[in-house]
Amino acid sequence: MRSLWLLFIAFPLFAQEQITFNLGYQANSVMTIDTKTIVDVEMSLEGDKNALPRNVRDHFPVKMINKSLKVQTVATGTTDSNGQYSIESYISKDQRFFSLNGADMVETTADSGSMEGLRITGSHHANGDVIFLSADGVDLTEELKNSLVSSFAQLYKGNALNHHSVKVGESLSLKAPLVVPAGVGKTLSIDMNITYTLNSIDNGIAKFTVAQQAEMKKDLEAGTLIVVGTGEGTMQYDVEKSYITASNTNMLMDMLIPNGNFYIRSQSASTTVLKTSYEFNAL
């Protein structure tokens, strides 16, 4: 009997061993997302370098460091009699910094397409649809506005993790799109395999380690694009309030970008740190 009692002490009857993701926004709340990203890139030439003028070849290899600091606030209103509530997304900070070949870091916010000051408004309907209403605060081309409409709606449809369950000690694997450059002015979306391993649930916070992997070869008009990427990091999820409180990701990316008779090899190491605060019944 004594040994049975000790067993109960060691393994509490009500210890939580499984979670189900339910990410999303709730009415009458304010979420603040603080993101810091640093990307260290080295670009070099491979193949028939003589296809390029000497004054271009002499610029390689090129080493760059990009840093961005972003703060975004998402505020939701009170639910009305039709089950609708307002949504407003505001980017209060979007600073960009750049260093080339070891030079001092300089701020490039004004010249790098910063979205600082962008305010997007919409409404969340009872059936789960999110309707884009307006965007202002920065100069918007029609193309950028259309892109914002699409991304705004997708943002509030939820996360790929939603409705998936995972137990302590087990892993959950999903695919997520990764956008990579594919020549001048072009991008390509490939699948990133992401594995979330739940290590523990402490005081209502689920703690994960995260592993990422992407690999692709694709024939383009200029040659074969090759992409290899790996990443690792951590993530914390508030089980009761259903949001990601923090994440830290380190990623290595190796891309061989074709350009006719030669290739540009881009090797990058990036770190992204995200912290989120969530206030309920804030309005």
Q: What is the pLDDT of residue 1?
A: 47
Residue in 128, 159, 172, 158 with CA at minimum distance from that of residue 19:
172
Share of the chain above pLDDT 70, in %: 86
**Res. 155 pLDDT band, cuts 50 70 90:** low
**Res. 247 pLDDT band, cuts 50 70 90:** very high
Contact, 121 vs 87, CB < 8 A? yes
Residue in 156, 162, 197 with CA at minimum distance from that of residue 176:
162
pLDDT in tens, 115-142: 899 898 888 888 777 787 788 877 777 7
Identity of the amino acid at 131 = I
Rounded Cα distance, 154 and 156, in Å: 5
Q: What is the pLDDT of residue 16?
A: 61
CATH number of 15-280: 2.30.230
CA atoms within 13 A on the CB side of 245: 13
Rounded Cα distance, 153 and 193, in Å: 24
Q: What is the pLDDT of residue 133?
A: 79
CA atoms within 13 A on the CB side of 167: 3
pLDDT in tens, 78-104: 999 998 999 998 999 999 999 999 999
Pairing of strands 85-100, 205-220: unpaired
**Res. 280 pLDDT band, cuts 50 70 90:** confident
Rounded Cα distance, 17 and 24, in Å: 22
Q: Among positive and negative, which fits the CA dihedral 61, 269, 152, 75? A: negative
pTM for the whole thing?
Answer: 0.82
**Res. 12 pLDDT band, cuts 50 70 90:** very low
CB within 8 Å of 274: residues ≥ 6 apart: 33, 34, 35, 244, 246, 247, 248
Q: Domain boundaries in the chain?
A: 15-280
pLDDT in tens, 27-66: 899 999 999 999 999 999 888 777 777 877 788 899 999 9
Q: What is the pLDDT of residue 14?
A: 46
